[in-house]
C-alpha cells in the first residue's frame, strides 16, 4: 500500500515573530510543495526495516524496526487521534539512533527533522516497516515554511494510512482531506514543528494544512479571502539561518526589554489586522487598488522596521530593501529572518520591464528571485500512484 501527499510552503505577509507572543499574523500558502511517498511492505515482503530517504539533502536512514521499538515502544498512550508532544527525554533517546549515521556538520539541522519524523511515524502508525521518501521544491531554512510543509506532508501521509481517519482510496488525482482530518493533520504537524522550531506559534503548519490566506492569532485561524491581486517577488538571500535560534533570540530580547517589546508586538498586531482588512475590502476602481497598494506598502515598511527592533533583520535583507527601494518598491523579510527570504510587493500597474530590471540587479547580488503564486491548496493526498 502506498500513499503520496504534498503540502505547500508559505509566506508571512505580516506578523512573524510577534505571532509567537500573541499578536495576529497574516500568511498565505505558495505553490511550492514538499512531497512525501509512504509505502508499507506487503506481508510476503518479509521486511522489518524503516527507511527514510531525504532526497533534497541526499541523506538516507534505515533502522531495524526492533531498534526503534526499543526507544519508542508501541505505547497505548500514543494514539493517532490524540496528538502528543515529544518530551526532551524522548528526543535524547531518539538521538541515540541517529548517532550511527554521522550526519555531516553542514547538514546538522536535518537531525531535528529526522527526530520529528521518528516521533510522528511511531506515534501515528506505530512500529511498522515502511519506506518513506521526502522531496521538496522549497529551499530549506529560507523562511518559506519548509519545516512546516515537511511536518504537514508527513502527518498527512501517516494519518491517511492509519485507522484514525477515513479516506477514499479510490479517488483519482490529488485529493484534499475533510476538515476534521485537516484539523488532526495540523495538530500532529504542530507537534513536529515543536521539535524543529522549539516554540512555534502554529501559523506555518496551519497555513500549510489549510492553504489559501489566513489570519492567525493565539492558535485561532481565520480563513480570509483577498479581494486584491497580491503579486509578490520572493528573493532568497541564500543566507542560511535557524528559525529555532531566531525565535529564541526574540524571546531573550523580550526578557531584557519587556515593556518595549510588548509595545512592538502590539504595533505588529495592529499592522496584521489592518493588512487583513485592506486585502479583504472591495475595490471599485483602479484608483482604489492603487490606494490599497500604497497602504499595504506602508504596513510592510512599518512591519520591517519592527522586525529590526526584534533583532531579526540581516545585512543581506537590508541589501534587498535598498535595491528594491531604488525602484520605489517596498520589501519586508518573511519567516524567521536572519537571512532567508524577502518579499517585495509588485504593484498591479508595474511594468514587466521594471520587474526584470529589479530581478537582474538582485541576482547580481547573488540572490535568487522568483514570483510564486500565492493562496493555493493546502495539504493533499493521492493513492493512485499518479505523477
Ligand X SMILES: Nc1ncnc2c1ncn2[C@@H]1O[C@H](COP(=O)(O)OP(=O)(O)OP(=O)(O)O)[C@@H](O)[C@H]1O
Sites of contact with ligand X (CB under 6 A):
34, 54, 56-57, 109-110, 112-113, 134, 136, 140-148, 150, 196-197, 204, 242-243, 335-336
Contact pattern from residue 316 through residue 355 relative to ligand MEV, giving x for each residue in contact according to CB under 6 A and a dash for the rest: -------------------xx-------------------
243 binds Mg ion, rule: CB under 5 A: yes
Residue in this structure with the C-alpha cell 535560534, named with its chain if needed: 245
Per the structure block, which three cell numbers stand in for 199?
516554540
* DSSP one-letter string for 295-346: HHHHHHHHHHHHHHHTT---HHHHHHHHHHHTTT--EEEETT-SSSEEEEE-
Q: How many residues bind ligand MEV (CB under 6 A)?
A: 15
Contact set for Mg ion, span 147-176 (CB under 5 A): 147
CA 380 to chain centre: 15
Contact set for Mg ion, span 245-304 (CB under 5 A): none
Residue from the set 197, 215, 241, 244 that interacts with ligand MEV by CB under 6 A: 197
247 binds ligand MEV, rule: CB under 6 A: yes
Smaller CB separation from ligand MEV, 40 or 248: 248
As to burial, measured by CB atoms within 10 angstroms (0-12 exposed, 13-18 middle, 19+ buried), residue 169 is: exposed
Phi/psi for 247 (5° steps) reads: -65, -40
Radius of gyration of the chain (CA): 21
- In the residue annotation, 48 being an active-site residue is answered as no
Catalytic residue (one of 204, 259, 269, 356): 204
Please give the DSSP secondary-structure letter assigned to residue 351: -
Smaller CB separation from ligand X, 115 or 165: 115
SS3 276: helix
Contact set for ligand MEV, span 201-230 (CB under 6 A): 201, 203-204
SS percent in the chain: helix, strand, coil, step 5:
45, 20, 35
> Can you say whether the dihedral through the CA atoms of 15, 16, 17, 19 is positive or negative?
positive
Smaller CB separation from ligand MEV, 156 or 337: 337
Residue nearest ligand X, Cβ-based: 113
Contact set for ligand MEV, span 109-168 (CB under 6 A): 145
**Least spacing, CB of residue 26 vs ligand MEV, in Å:** 12
8 binds, among ligand MEV, ligand X, Mg ion, none (CB under 5 to 8 A by kind): none
Per the structure block, which three cell numbers stand in for 353?
520591464
Cα dist. 177→159, 162, 202 in Å? 10, 14, 19
20 binds, among ligand X, ligand MEV, Mg ion, none (CB under 5 to 8 A by kind): ligand MEV
19 binds ligand MEV, rule: CB under 6 A: yes
Binding site for ligand MEV (CB under 6 A): 12, 16-17, 19-20, 145, 197, 200-201, 203-204, 243, 247, 335-336
- Supply the residues annotated as catalytic: 204
Amino acid at each position: 500500500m502506498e500513499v503520496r501527499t504534498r503540502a505547500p510552503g508559505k509566506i508571512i505577509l505580516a506578523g512573524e515573530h510577534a505571532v509567537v507572543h500573541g499578536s495576529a499574523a497574516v500568511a498565505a500558502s505558495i505553490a511550492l510543495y514538499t512531497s512525501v511517498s509512504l509505502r508499507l511492505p506487503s506481508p510476503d515482503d518479509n521486511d522489518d526495516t524503516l527507511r527514510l530517504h531525504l532526497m533534497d539533502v541526499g541523506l538516507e536512514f534505515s533502522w531495524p524496526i526492533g531498534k526503534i521499538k526499543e526507544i519508542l515502544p508501541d505505547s497505548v498512550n500514543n494514539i493517532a487521534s490524540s496528538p502528543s508532544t515529544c518530551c526532551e527525554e524522548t528526543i535524547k533517546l531518539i538521538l541515540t539512533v541517529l548517532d550511527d549515521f554521522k550526519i555531516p556538520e553542514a547538514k546538522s539541522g536535518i537531525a531535528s527533522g529526522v527526530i520529528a519524523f521518528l516521533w510522528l511515524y511511531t506515534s501515528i502508525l506505530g512500529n511498522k516497516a515502511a519506506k518513506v521518501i521526502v522531496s521538496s521544491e522549497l529551499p530549506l531554512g529560507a523562511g518559506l515554511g519548509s519545516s512546516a510543509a515537511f511536518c504537514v506532508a508527513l502527518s498527512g501521509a501517516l494519518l491517511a494510512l492509519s485507522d484514525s481517519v477515513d479516506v477514499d482510496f479510490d479517488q483519482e488525482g490529488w485529493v484534499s482531506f475533510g476538515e476534521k482530518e485537516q484539523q488532526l493533520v495540523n495538530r500532529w504537524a504542530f507537534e513536529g514543528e515543536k521539535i524543529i522550531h522549539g516554540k512555534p506559534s502554529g501559523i506555518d503548519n496551519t497555513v500549510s494544512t489549510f492553504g489559501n490566506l489566513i489570519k492567525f492569532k493565539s492558535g485561532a485561524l481565520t480563513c480570509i479571502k483577498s479581494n486584491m491581486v497580491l503579486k509578490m517577488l520572493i528573493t532568497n538571500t541564500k543566507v542560511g539561518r535557524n528559525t529555532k535560534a531566531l525565535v529564541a533570540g526574540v524571546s531573550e530580547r523580550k526578557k531584557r526589554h519587556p515593556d518595549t517589546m510588548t509595545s512592538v508586538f502590539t504595533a505588529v498586531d495592529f499592522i496584521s489586522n489592518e493588512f487583513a482588512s485592506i486585502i479583504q475590502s472591495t475595490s471599485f476602481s483602479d484608483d482604489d487598488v492603487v490606494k490599497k497598494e500604497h497602504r499595504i506598502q506602508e504596513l510592510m515598511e512599518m512591519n520591517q522596521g519592527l522586525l529590526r527592533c526584534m533583532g531579526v533583520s540581516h545585512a543581506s535583507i537590508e541589501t534587498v530593501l535598498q535595491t528594491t527601494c531604488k525602484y520605489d518598491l517596498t520589501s519586508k523579510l518573511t519567516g524567521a529572518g536572519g537571512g532567508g527570504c524577502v518579499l517585495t510587493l509588485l504593484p498591479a500597474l508595474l511594468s514587466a520591464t521594471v520587474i526584470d530590471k529589479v530581478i537582474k540587479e538582485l541576482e547580481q547580488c547573488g540572490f535568487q528571485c522568483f514570483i510564486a503564486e500565492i493562496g493555493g491548496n493546502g495539504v493533499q493526498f493521492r493513492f493512485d500512484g499518479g505523477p
